[in-house]
Amino acid sequence: MCDSVPTSRTSLHQALSGGLVADVLLWRNCCSGVVILASATAFWCLFELAGYSFVSFVANVLLPLVVILFFWAKSASLLNRPLPPLPNLEISEWNAGKIAKELQVWVNYALSITHDITLGTNLKLFLKV
């Protein structure tokens, strides 16, 4: 009766795109799943239970990296070895102009708020500030 409707079944692995992500989510790659679960649990314990902030975590990770690069560069110059490979860190003029325009919008908005507070008739808000 309803034979004209084709039914095609796809597996859950194919529905999750069938790649590495699907393997990890379906626990087909157990080692990666355990590593991801353990690292997520460790980060949760760090940030929630211990009260560690993200900014201090990033600073504590970047500081040893900068120290290692500093000593690598100094030892390379003493031992006549090549310097560590670092990319050129430059901001293009187009990006700088875009950032400046965006910053101008925010500064003008902040100045309009301060103008309204100082010259406005709302004395209660002025005294709060």
Map out the domains of the chain as residue ranges. Answer: 10-52, 54-87, 90-129
Share of the chain above pLDDT 70, in %: 95
Out of 5-19, 62-76, 84-98, least confident range: 5-19
Can you tell me the distance from the alpha carbon of 72 to that of 85, in angstroms, rounded to the nearest whole number?
Answer: 11
Other CB atoms within 10 A of residue 113 CB: 11
Q: What's the pLDDT at 4?
A: 55
Q: What's the pLDDT at 5?
A: 54
pLDDT at 30 over 60: yes
Q: Give the tokens for residue 73.
A: 């560069």
pLDDT (tens digit per residue) in 45-88? 888 888 888 898 899 999 999 999 899 889 988 888 888 787 78
Find the angle CA(92)-CA(95)-CA(96) to the nearest 5 degrees: 85
Burial state string for 46-61 with b = 16 or more CB within 10 A and e = fewer than 16 = eeeeeeeeeeeeeeee
Find the angle CA(63)-CA(67)-CA(69) to the nearest 5 degrees: 115
